[in-house]
Amino acid sequence: MNCLVSPQWLAARLQQPRHALHVLDASMVQVVGRVPLEYPQRQVIPGARWLGLEDYLTDHEASLPNTFPRPEQVTERLQQLGVNTGDTIVLYDNQGIYSAPRAWVILKAMGVEQVYFLNGGLPQWLADGLPWATDYLPLPESRGDVIAQRQPDWLVDAQHVLAASQQQQALIVDARGAARFLGQQPEPREGMRSGHIPTAVNLPFQEVLTEHGFRSAEQLAEQFNQLGATQDTPLITSCGSGITACVLLVAAHLAGYQQVKLYDGSWAEWGADPQLPIATGE
């Protein structure tokens, strides 16, 4: 599954009739797990609109942070953005590879087919010397007609993860940094236990990336292989609150893995529930 497009591909497409191409900025205001890139002024890809991942594609009625949105939320936002069924969507974020994979997973899990994201994001676009603007396009006058419908086999809940851990039915891969995974560093959320899900392995999300975007499919496959995964191994990705786990989910897809699911609650749910077991150390 190749969900990536290059800056050169997107730049060429932007010179063509664009009625069926939507460039959406999926950046997040809050960046956790890495030092955020900062910009002296707003820089956006010409013709892009603001997706509003935190405002519009998060279920604010849920008790956990960054919870997967409801289908009606996705439908409403995409229709506001003028997206019609069958249109092509290209996502990007201003951190390179951080939150655009989350937006990609959300849209794919809601049945949107033609959705991709920019490898290397805005930093690579700018590094390639491509033009930029200071403002987003406003919302179009006409609404789109796309309808979001939740698809099976993208998400798992805590009970599924618990069973997978106890029965070793899947390899649980944690995208957090090593110190948090090992329980050596306090969690950023107050009152949260430190450690990891028993039997989980650690692959910090930055390790599947280079300064230009994702590593090659061969390199990614080798990284997962070193964790003990074969191409037939079911994978579950987790992190702090479901954002960077999506980076690993995409990396696994790029490496050829077919059975990859997201634990959306991630450590925000697991670490807060005293009834769920934790492990520390190696």
Residue 19 pLDDT: 66
Whole-angstrom Cα distance, residue 187 to residue 204? 15
Q: What are 34-54's pLDDT values in tens digits?
A: 778 999 999 999 999 999 999
Of 236, 168, 230, 235, nearest in space to 199 by CA: 168
**Are residues 215 and 256 located together in one domain of the fold?**
yes
**Are residues 36 and 100 located together in one domain of the fold?**
yes
Which one is predicted more confidently, 235 or 1?
235
Q: What is the CATH number of the domain that holds 77?
A: 3.40.250.10
Residue 63 pLDDT: 84
Mean pLDDT of 143-165: 97
> Which pTM was predicted?
0.96
Residue 110 pLDDT: 98
Mean pLDDT of 147-158: 97
Within a domain: 79: yes
**Are residues 74 and 120 located together in one domain of the fold?**
yes
Per the structure, the complete domain to which residue 261 belongs is given by 155-270
**Are residues 266 and 164 located together in one domain of the fold?**
yes
Q: Is 239 a catalytic residue?
A: yes
Q: Are 175 and 132 in contact (CB under 8 A)?
A: no
Within a domain: 15: yes
**Are residues 116 and 10 located together in one domain of the fold?**
yes
Residue 18 pLDDT: 66
Write down the catalytic residue from 239, 251, 255, 268: 239
Q: How many of the other CB atoms lie within 10 Å of CB of 186? A: 12
Q: How many distinct structural domains can be found in the chain? A: 2
Q: What are 194-224's pLDDT values in tens digits?
A: 999 999 999 999 999 999 999 999 999 999 9
**Are residues 122 and 9 located together in one domain of the fold?**
yes
Within a domain: 281: no
Residue 1 pLDDT: 53
pLDDT at 234 > cutoff 70: yes
Q: Are 33 and 119 in contact (CB under 8 A)?
A: no
**Are residues 116 and 168 located together in one domain of the fold?**
no
Mean pLDDT of 69-83: 98
Residue 17 pLDDT: 73
Q: What are 266-281's pLDDT values in tens digits?
A: 999 999 999 999 999 9
**Are residues 40 and 114 located together in one domain of the fold?**
yes
Average pLDDT, the chain: 96
**Are residues 183 and 121 located together in one domain of the fold?**
no
